[in-house]
Amino acid sequence: MQDWMHYAIPAVLICFFIYRRTKRTIGFQKLAKGRLKFRLTLFSILGIAIFLLGFVHPIHFIGYLIGLAAGVGLGLTAIRHTRFEHRADGWYYRTHLWIEIAVLVLFLGRIIYRVAFIALSPNPSSLNPADPTQFTKDPVTAGVFFIIVSYYILFFGYLLREETKLDPDATLSNTSNSESSAHTVK
């Protein structure tokens, strides 16, 4: 009876996090300065921590560098396609749909890969979740992590910089539709 609960609770939590991430990734998102600063700080700290843990396996720095370069490319593409829209309750932003989907696929693929790796491991007791170097033992996983980290650091930094340029007095009449949004700069 309790065996299924052992798997059901984590599965429900994972599904909830996937739903939240999907909702936050696709479509217009409210431009909230405090939330962006928090996320930028969080991703910066995580990136530095994983980078420093990489000294345990220095060969993985190649994966880190490839991930950083790919994340910067993805971020620059996202910046080029970002649209802003003013609504009654503030400014909203969104980037190109395919970029949003690519980031979501990277995030979900990383979760699925990790769950499959643990499930198919011949000796799951050797996987210590408290060991922080677990994240740096696989160069592909570390590379994907750095794609996501560098993308979000670049993109959130851009959003914070653009937020200061947006006109707070813009009215709803300034926006014609969601694709050709009103990016009003002071």
Give the chain's residues under pLDDT 50.
1, 171-182, 184-186
Supply φ then ψ for residue 155, to 5 degrees.
-70, -45
Q: Would you say the C-alpha torsion 49, 52, 57, 63 has a positive or negative sign? A: positive
Q: How far is CA 24 from CA 16, 36, 51, 100, 127, in A?
A: 12, 12, 26, 10, 31
Query: What letter represents residue 174's amino acid?
Result: N
At 181 the pLDDT is 45
pTM: 0.74
pLDDT of amino acid 4: 67
Residues written for the chain: 186
Confidence at residue 134, expressed as pLDDT on a 0 to 100 scale: 58
